Each structure stands twice: as C-alpha cells, then as structure tokens.
C-alpha cells in the first residue's frame, strides 16, 4: 500500500471511528510507515476502552521487535536551545543513515493540555525529513501518566524501525526524572553564564547527566562557553563516580553553525560501546523496567480509588467532616482506607 492509499485508508476508518484490527495495524507499523505509527500512538493515548485494549496488544506485539535503539534524553531550561539542537543533531544522525524519532515530555501538558515541546513548527527541516518522526508530548491527567505513555511510544517507534529515539523535556520540575528513567543516555544542555555557571540547574539533574553540553558556542559567546565548560569539568570531577563507570564529558556546540555535533555523537557512541561491554547498558534497562513496573502498579491502585465515583463520594463526605472540624485529616484518611480495604 503506498502512502497516499494509506492516508485514505486511515482517514476512512477515523471518520467511521471504526476499530483498527491489531494485525492490519501492526503489519503496517513494522513496515515503518510514519502515518501508521502516528495512528498507533493516538490509539495508545486514547482513553476509549476498546482503544486501550488494542494499545496493550500493540505494545505486547512490539516488545519482541523493540530495544535495538539508543534512547537519548535531552533536557535543559527553556531557551537553552533544545529544539535547535535536535534540528542540527537530528540531521547529522539521518545523514549517517539513522532513523530518528523525536518524542517529548512536557511537564505543563498535564495542567493545561497544551504542548510546548516536540513541536514540529520549531523543527522545520527535521519535520519534513522522511527519516524522522516527530511527536509532540502525550496528553494525560498526570505527569506520570504522560511519561508512561511516552515510554510505551518508544517501543512502537522501535518496532517501526527507528534506531535513535530522542526524548526532549524541560529542565524544571519532575519531568527529567521520568525521562532519565526511560533513556540510555541523558544529555544536559546548558547555557554559559557570566560567573554563575553552577547556579542555574539543580545538582541532582547534573548528577543524572551522561554528558553536559554548553550550547550557543558561537560569535561573542564562543569564549564564554569554553570558560563555562572548564568550570563544569572541575565541578563534575567532584561528583561521585557513576554506576556505569562512564566519565561524563563536558562539550560545547553551536546548533546554528552545526559545530560540536560530531563530538556529541562520538560521546554517545563511546558511551554505548563502553556500557555494552561492561554490562551497564542492559542492567540499566532492567532497572528501568522495575521502576516502571512500580510506577504502573501505583497508577493502577490510585486509579482504582480516584477513578471510582463511589470512593470519590466517600472522600467528599470525609473531607466535609474534616472541614467542619469534626474529625482530623488523619482520622479521615484512616476511615477511607479501612472502607477501601473492606
Ligand atoms: P528551547 O526552548 O530549549 O527548545 O530553545 P530553542 O531551540 O527554541 O532556542 C531558543 C533560542 O536560542 C532561539 O532564539 C534560537 O534561535 C536560539 N539558539 C538556539 N541554538 C542556538 C545556537 O547554537 N546559537 C545561537 N546563537 N542561538 C541559538
């Protein structure tokens, strides 16, 4: 089926809200068609019960074909140059023959439903590159839910033949913890500043990073970036050694000049070779599986309570009593828990 036919085929089914069959969708997905991949991710994000059943089947079918990629997290404060970096770095990767999927976790999406990241309009060249798939952040009620859907998306992208997965997030809030728990390599983009190089970003995030890259190392900023890189090198030298035994490099780049991209790529390749040889690469993915098992279970348990009208009504009743001063909040929580446990 060529792409035109496929668009119509999918369009017709969307119009009729007809269920996609697992076999038909999956067969097309593993042929690497971007339209089908996009449809599969929509199914994954859907809250319709029938879609959720299909999503689960899609993931289970994709799992044996997934895993053969490098998953790279990219974080940094808004304005640091993430989108521009992905545009330039993505081009280098596709020139090398890679197929690149760009996903995003936007911490604000669970509050306002909007998406500020992974936006195609901000990656103009990459978005028309046939070897690239760009997907804005998933929608969801909680950041954890959004992150879980993004993680599931990785499997579908990999089954569709994408061998580099870039996941963009903003270096504020909890989102980078989630991204860190689903990627092999975590890239922290940083700005050079005058004298305050170590102030801008939390130490915890710096400790998670597998590489620090100072962006916008061009024009007047080039020298400042080099000075900042030296300061960061000295700072991370004092951090505890990583379980991966990987020595974190500090690099500089300019996305508008396409400089420094080769060095970033070489670092990631070096990391991959080193950690595959010392066993960390596989071990890390297993640790991540455990993390997501607990995360998914926690979500299910919370949903059982907060997704049920009966318990929401009971909660409201107890809240009222707490508000009126009749019982303490601890007592109310205890009462609800006992009722819930039956
Ligand atoms: P994001 O919010 O982290 O995704 O940042 P953007 O990629 O949207 O970039 C923020 C601003 O920095 C934009 O105005 C870009 O044009 C600019 N910018 C990004 N990369 C570079 C770079 O390598 N050099 C220079 N001089 N400006 C850059």
Q: What is the pLDDT of residues 96-138, one digit of tens each?
A: 999 999 998 877 765 555 455 555 567 888 888 999 999 887 7
Please report which confidence band the pLDDT of residue 282 belongs to, taking 50, 70 and 90 as the band edges.
very high
Residue 260 or residue 6, greater confidence:
260
**Residue pLDDT, tens place only, 139-153:** 676 788 888 899 999
Residue 12: predicted pLDDT = 57
pLDDT at 6 > cutoff 80: no
Question: What is the CA(244)–ligand 1 centre distance, in A?
Answer: 31
Burial class (CB within 10 angstroms; exposed 0-12, middle 13-18, buried 19+) of 213: buried
Q: Which residue is closest in CA terms to ligand 1's atom 21? A: 216
- Answering whether pTM is above 0.95, one says no
Question: What is the CA(155)–ligand 1 centre distance, in A?
Answer: 30
Q: Which helix (H) or strand (E) holds 56?
A: helix 49-62
Please report which confidence band the pLDDT of residue 11 belongs to, taking 50, 70 and 90 as the band edges.
low
Non-local CB neighbours of 99 within 8 Å, separated by 6+ positions? 32, 131, 132, 133, 161, 162, 163, 164
Residue 152: predicted pLDDT = 93
Q: DSSP 3-state assignment of 289?
A: helix
Distance CA 336, CA 342 (A): 10
Residue 31: predicted pLDDT = 92
Please report which confidence band the pLDDT of residue 24 belongs to, taking 50, 70 and 90 as the band edges.
confident
| Of the ranges 11-25, 109-123, 129-143, 285-299, the best mean pLDDT one | 285-299
Lowest mean pLDDT among 36-40, 109-113, 248-252: 109-113
Residue 177: predicted pLDDT = 86
Distance CA 319, CA 324 (A): 9
Residue 160: how many other CB atoms lie within 10 Å: 24
* Apex 295 CA angle, 70 and 169, nearest 5: 45
Non-local CB neighbours of 95 within 8 Å, separated by 6+ positions? none
Residue 299: predicted pLDDT = 83
Please report which confidence band the pLDDT of residue 195 belongs to, taking 50, 70 and 90 as the band edges.
very low
Q: Report the mean per-residue pLDDT for the chain.
A: 86
Tell me the chain's radius of gyration from C-alpha atoms: 22
Distance CA 30, CA 39 (A): 13
Q: Which residue is closest in CA terms to ligand 1's atom 25? A: 216
Question: What is the CA(218)–ligand 1 centre distance, in A?
Answer: 11
Q: Which helix (H) or strand (E) holds 293?
A: helix 280-306
Question: For residue 90, what is the DSSP state?
Answer: H
- Name the percent of the chain lying above pLDDT 90: 54
pLDDT at 86 > cutoff 50: yes
Burial class (CB within 10 angstroms; exposed 0-12, middle 13-18, buried 19+) of 78: exposed
Question: What is the CA(42)–ligand 1 centre distance, in A?
Answer: 30
Please report which confidence band the pLDDT of residue 17 belongs to, taking 50, 70 and 90 as the band edges.
very low
Mutate to test the pocket of ligand 1, among 78, 81, 83 (most ligand atoms within 8 A of CB): 81
Structure tokens, 23: 């076999």
Residue 13: predicted pLDDT = 55
Please report which confidence band the pLDDT of residue 263 belongs to, taking 50, 70 and 90 as the band edges.
very high
Q: What is the number of the ligand 1 atom nearest to the C-alpha of 253?
A: 23
- Averaged pLDDT, 148-177: 89
């Amino acid at each position: 089926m060529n792409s035109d036919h496929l668009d119509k085929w999918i369009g017709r089914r969307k119009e009729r809200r007809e269920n996609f069959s697992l076999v038909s969708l999956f067969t097309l997905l593993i042929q690497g068609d971007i339209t089908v991949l996009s449809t599969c991710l929509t199914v994954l994000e859907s809250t319709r019960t029938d879609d959720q059943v299909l999503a689960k089947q899609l993931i289970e079918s994709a799992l044996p074909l997934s895993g053969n990629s490098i998953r790279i997290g990219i974080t940094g404060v808004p304005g640091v140059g993430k989108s521009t970096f992905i545009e330039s770095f993505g081009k280098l990767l596709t020139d090398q023959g890679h197929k690149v999927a760009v996903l995003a976790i936007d911490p604000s999406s669970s509050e306002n439903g909007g998406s500020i990241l992974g936006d195609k309009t901000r990656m103009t060249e990459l978005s028309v590159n046939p070897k690239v798939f760009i997907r804005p952040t998933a929608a969801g009620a909680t950041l954890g839910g959004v992150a879980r859907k993004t993680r599931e998306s990785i499997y579908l992208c990999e089954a569709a033949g994408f061998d580099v997965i870039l996941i963009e997030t903003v270096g504020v809030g909890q989102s980078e913890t989630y991204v860190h728990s689903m990627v092999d390599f975590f890239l922290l983009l940083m700005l050079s500043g005058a004298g305050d190089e170590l102030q801008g970003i939390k130490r915890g995030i710096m400790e998670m990073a597998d590489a620090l890259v100072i962006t916008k190392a061009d024009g007047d900023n080039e020298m400042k970036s080099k000075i900042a890189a030296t300061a960061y090198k000295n700072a991370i030298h004092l951090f505890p050694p990583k379980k991966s035994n990987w020595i974190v490099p500090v690099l500089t780049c300019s996305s508008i000049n396409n400089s420094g991209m080769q060095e970033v790529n070489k670092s990631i390749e070096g990391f991959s070779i080193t950690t595959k040889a010392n066993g960390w690469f596989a071990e890390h993915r297993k640790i991540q599986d455990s993390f997501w098992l607990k995360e998914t279970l926690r979500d299910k348990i919370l949903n059982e309570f907060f997704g049920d009208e009966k318990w929401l009504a009971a909660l409201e009743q107890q809240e009222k009593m707490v508000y009126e001063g009749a019982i303490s909040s601890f007592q109310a929580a205890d009462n609800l828990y006992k009722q819930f446990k039956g």
